[in-house]
């Protein structure tokens, strides 16, 4: 088995970081939650999103993508269920877009760790992304090497989602969100709904 080199790890971390920050349902949800509820209330949600995303790396490392190739119907079912869940989240955002926020201080109402985990597990596309990146950068991995790659992916996911939560929970971001809550929630709901619909319809 080929050794894991620092340049290869650097490329993996960079590629993963760019992918995390690209517009997607999880990053939209994490940003909105932090702006609406503050850092303390939103951090468990962010950690659920991070760990849910990292599970797709684990699944890719240990064969889920092989199942997708052998039984394409399994991927189709996961896409449909995940897309339906994203559409449900989008509808809830639209329904509650005009709801008032709590008064001063951080609101504790809203999604937590389990909801974050469920959101990132609703989209199986990261499994294919992880599989493609890992196969390209690390074509031959031992079990120990796979464990190292998973721990690196988990660390990157946790750090990025935590950073987004801290940034979006700053005073200026929260004030901006409060001033335009209805429009922001409806835009976020539309984007998440479009991503869910794309997940269902894309072959």
Residue by residue, pLDDT tens for the chain (203 residues) are: 457 888 989 999 998 988 887 778 889 999 999 998 999 999 999 999 999 999 999 888 887 767 777 788 887 888 888 889 889 988 988 988 888 766 455 455 678 999 999 999 988 878 878 888 887 888 778 888 889 999 999 999 999 999 999 999 999 999 998 888 899 889 988 988 888 888 888 76
Distant-in-sequence, close-in-space partners of 11: CB < 8 Å, separation ≥ 6: 137
> Does any domain span residue 22?
no
Neighbours of 193 (CB within 10 A): 20
> Does any domain span residue 7?
no
> Does any domain span residue 47?
yes
Integer Cα distance of 199 and 203 in angstroms: 8
DSSP assigned state of 99: S
What is the token pair recorded at 112? Answer: 């937590």
Cα separation values, 90 from 21, 32, 82, 152, Å: 20, 12, 12, 31
Q: How many CA atoms lie within 13 A of 18 on its CB side?
A: 7
Integer Cα distance of 166 and 38 in angstroms: 8
> Does any domain span residue 11?
no
199 and 79 Cβ atoms separated by less than 8 Å = yes
Token pair 């801290």: residue: 166
Integer Cα distance of 90 and 79 in angstroms: 16
> Does any domain span residue 95?
yes
> Would you state the pLDDT for residue 106?
47
Neighbours of 164 (CB within 10 A): 22
> Would you state the pLDDT for residue 109?
65
> Does any domain span residue 28?
no
Q: How many domains does one find in the chain?
A: 1
44 and 117 Cβ atoms separated by less than 8 Å = no
Integer Cα distance of 83 and 38 in angstroms: 28
Scored b (16 or more CB within 10 A) or e, 134-143 reads beebbeebee
Residue 175: which domain range? 36-201
> Does any domain span residue 106?
yes
In terms of residues, how long is the chain? Answer: 203
> Would you state the pLDDT for residue 107?
52
> Does any domain span residue 79?
yes
* pLDDT per residue as tens digits for the range 89-122: 889 889 888 887 664 554 556 789 999 999 999 8
């Amino acid at each position: 088995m080929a050794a894991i080199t620092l340049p290869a790890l650097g490329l993996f971390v960079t590629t993963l970081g760019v992918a995390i920050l690209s517009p997607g349902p999880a990053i939209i949800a994490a940003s909105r939650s932090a702006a609406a509820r503050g850092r303390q209330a939103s951090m468990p949600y962010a950690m659920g999103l991070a760990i849910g995303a990292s599970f797709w790396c684990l699944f890719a490392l240990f064969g889920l993508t092989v199942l997708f190739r052998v039984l394409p119907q399994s991927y189709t079912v996961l896409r449909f269920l995940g897309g339906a869940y994203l559409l449900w989240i989008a509808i809830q955002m639209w329904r509650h877009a005009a709801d008032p926020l709590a008064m001063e201080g951080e609101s504790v109402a809203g999604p937590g760790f389990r909801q974050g985990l469920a959101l990132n597990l609703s989209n199986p596309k990261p499994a294919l992304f992880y599989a493609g990146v890992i196969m390209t950068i690390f074509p031959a991995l031992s079990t120990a090497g796979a464990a190292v790659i998973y721990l690196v992916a988990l660390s990157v996911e946790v750090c990025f989602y935590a950073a987004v939560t801290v940034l979006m929970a700053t005073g200026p971001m929260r004030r901006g969100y409060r001033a335009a809550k209805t429009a922001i929630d409806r835009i976020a709901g539309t984007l998440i709904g479009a991503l869910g619909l794309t997940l269902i319809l894309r072959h």
